[in-house]
Chains A and B, each alone.
Chain A
Amino acid sequence: MSLFKKTKDLVLKIDDFLDLTAQTALHFKEGIRLYLAGKKEAFEARLELIAETENKADALKKLIVNQLYAQTLIPESRGDVLGIMENTDEVIDWAKSTMGEFAVECPRIPEELAEGFMELTVPVTLAVESLVLATRAYFYDSSAIKDHLYKVSFHEGEADRIADRVKRDIFASESLSLSEKMHLRYFASHIDTLADRAEQVADRLGVAAIKRAV
């Protein structure tokens, strides 16, 4: 394969990896919605989809990193790119493991709290989606990174705020035992952490973008 074809191939692989990250966010949101609606079978099917996506992303990441190093491409930025890929992969893992824990532990979420959980899932998903846009901008148009990074940060803040409210609602509930309350708090934190993970990648991306501009 000529160097030009190799480059093109790698560009496609990175694009695919980012597509898979965006899909993970959508699967995650849909999965939580199905769980809260009590549609167990549809939720399990969604869990399988997200696991499949995670496997694909993992394999793709390994190929990309190998290719970057074997062909000594982007010597200046490959350390950053490698770090960003690794951290993004962790975001995907986290989304999958959160869904997995819902499947395993089957937390009982009363109807009055379900809305809060769904509300929390929205900014978390948006944070991951903005991260995908920011990462794409890092490769294609570094001047646009800032706008997306700002959104990641904003949605993460929103998620924190909602998570805090959800936790207060959980502990204020009179229909739940203390063990159930602690169980639900754990799930609220788990969902919220996905946005935190996205923000960590965004921070790293911000530094990498500055390095590119210098």
Chain B
Amino acid sequence: MSIIVFLSSGLFLGWSLGANDAANVFGTAVGSRMLRFRTAAIICSVFVILGAALSGSGAAHTLGKLGAVNEIAGAFMVALAAALTVYWMTKLELPVSTSQAIVGAIIGWNYFSGSLTDTGSLTKIVSTWVICPLLSGVFSFLLYRLTRWAFGRVNVHLLKLDHYTRIGLVVAGAFGAYSLGANNIANVMGVFVPVSPFRPLDIGLLSLSNTDQLFILGGLAIAVGVFTYSHKVMGTVGTGILHLTPQAAFVVVVASGLVLFLFASQGLEAFLASHGFPTIPLVPVSSSQAVVGAVLGIGLAQGGRGINYRTLGKIASGWVTTPIIAAVVSFVALFFLQNVFNQKVYRPVVYQITASVQQKLSTKGGFPAGLRALKGARYESAVAFIDALEQKMPSLSRAQRERIASLAMLEPLVVDLSRLEREIQDGWLSKAQLVVLRGLDGQRYQHDWELGYALAQAHQCWRPRPSSVGNSFHNKALKTRLKHLVQVFGKR
């Protein structure tokens, strides 16, 4: 029962995402009266859920790395803080991005719990806040020019053009909603992934991991938001910054959908990586930013006339204030939840350079003297450990310090197969994998990475394959299984 109470804040956040961000996808289509709200809402809901369930995990991973909220009460408050920020700013009629709210709220939790904010992930995320509207603007500028050029050459009857534009809007909107689900489900349910109360589920051919179940639930919450509250927002999105023709509305939907897709598609990431291209980070981006960028791109393609710069300034200021407000709300709310309601909002994580960490770090060029001085000492939070590292080894880069911290994190676990039998279903692990795992029954580890390391040492069926398109699926599946094993064996 308490699980439902704790998840409720995530569902509330999902609802507000449905009301706001999903409205962005179809806003221009409904605003320009090309699609009825009902049609838009149905398509949007179906494809948001599909996107969340089928390819939602890519962006969730980055958000999980930003800060792994390790107690469900904490996750509850982080999601609630983000949802309240979104709700409050919507009430004040300030445009708001769910992505930014959740990132701010997670950082608030990191500060409160003394955890590390992964600078790599944070940089990735913040940089997309600039890249996303920019890219969307460029896409829409080019697409708009292209469609204008095409319509100048092909003579289509006004009514037939109207008909094709409607079909285009439905297809592009479905694509946009799918991408939104894939990209933004991480915002709604991402913080619950490390503390997921669900177990993997097999329904015939379909196997749903605990994350999948969370995502479907979140997708449903988004759908409810779309149906109950997005109508008004859709009306204003279409006409707020610039008056859009139906064809321009189509361009906006395609451009913003493309951007959301780029930042969520694991398939594309694998394709780019295997062909030696730089990959696009899988990050939850803001659909409002994408749409604003796209509308602006069209405004510029039209020569910059008719753009409402005041509205634009208001929107841009919201992008700066949202994460800050969410971080503050999250911090204060966590304080209350812990001290007034006596809830455990985070599990203190201890950091220690143990023998196995020393062994792991010694493999190349001996063991540094600075680390030897830290060996054996226990640090009660990531921040304390990093401070100590900084004192002893000032020459280390931030990334190096963070890597050492991630290895030194104590996450004691006991391999207990009797526990596993209750948690997983037959066939979840291959026979070979199960045999190897049985071999480790009863083993104790101090760090979570040690289990994966030991399994990989024991047999190749637990080893990740060299990264390529063909192997990415195998590696991902392996990672998910390891993560779940750590979760099961680590439970006290």
Contact = CB atoms under 8 A, between A and B. Distances in A.
A214 to B, nearest CB: 7
A76 B29 CA distance: 12
Nearest to A80: B158
Contact of A140 (B36, B157, B166, B246): B157
Contacts of B163: 3-4, 7
Interface string B136-158: 00000000000000001001011
Interface string A72-85: 11111100010000
Contacts of A140: 155, 157-158
Contacts of B162: 7, 73-74
A141 interface: yes
B158 A74 contact: yes
Interface string A55-89: 00000000000000000111111000100000000
Contacts, number: 41
A103 to B, nearest CB: 38
A174 to B, nearest CB: 55
Contacts of A212: 158
A212 B148 CA distance: 11
B34 interface: yes
B32 to A, nearest CB: 6
A10 interface: yes
Contacts of B32: 75-76
B159 A76 contact: no
Interface string B291-303: 0000000000010
B159 A7 contact: yes
B158 A143 contact: no
A81 B161 CA distance: 15
Contacts of A7: 159-160, 162-163
B245 interface: yes
Interface in B347-381: none
A197 B353 CA distance: 92
A11 interface: yes
B459 interface: no
A138 interface: yes
Contacts of B245: 76, 214
A141 B246 contact: no
Contacts of A75: 32-34, 246
Contact of B159 (A10, A141, A143, A214): A10
A139 interface: yes
Nearest to B166: A3
A3 B39 CA distance: 14
Contacts of B166: 3
B261 to A, nearest CB: 27
Nearest to B148: A213
A82 to B, nearest CB: 13
Given A75-B34, A76-B32, A214-B302, A11 B246 contact: no
A72 B166 CA distance: 11
A68 to B, nearest CB: 9
A140 B155 CA distance: 6
Nearest to A9: B159
A7 B166 CA distance: 12
Nearest to A13: B159
A73 B158 CA distance: 10
Interface string B245-287: 1100000000000000000000000000000000000000000
Contact of A141 (B33, B36, B155, B160): B155
B158 A139 contact: yes
B159 A72 contact: no
B158 to A, nearest CB: 5
B159 A73 contact: yes
A77 B162 CA distance: 10
Given A75-B246, A143-B152, A214-B245, A138 B158 contact: yes
A139 to B, nearest CB: 5
A73 B162 CA distance: 7
B347 to A, nearest CB: 55
A139 B302 contact: no
A11 B160 CA distance: 8
Contacts of A4: 163
Contacts of A214: 245, 302
B158 A72 contact: no
Interface centre among B33, B157, B166 (most CB of A within 10 A): B157
A79 B26 CA distance: 23
Most chain B beta-carbon neighbours within 10 Å: one of A14, A74, A81:
A74
Contacts of A3: 163, 166
Contacts of A10: 159
B152 A139 contact: no
A74 B156 CA distance: 13
A11 B162 CA distance: 12
Interface in A111-147: 138-141, 143
Interface in B410-456: none
B95 to A, nearest CB: 25
A181 to B, nearest CB: 48
Closest 6 CB pairs of A and B: A75-B33, A141-B155, A7-B163, A74-B162, A139-B158, A7-B159
Given A139-B157, A143-B152, A214-B245, 5 more contacts: A3-B163, A4-B163, A10-B159, A11-B159, A72-B36
20 contacts: A4-B163, A7-B159, A7-B163, A10-B159, A11-B157, A11-B160, A14-B159, A72-B36, A73-B159, A73-B162, A77-B158, A81-B158, A138-B158, A139-B157, A139-B158, A140-B155, A140-B157, A141-B155, A212-B158, A214-B245
Interface of A: 3-4, 7, 10-11, 14, 72-77, 81, 138-141, 143, 212, 214
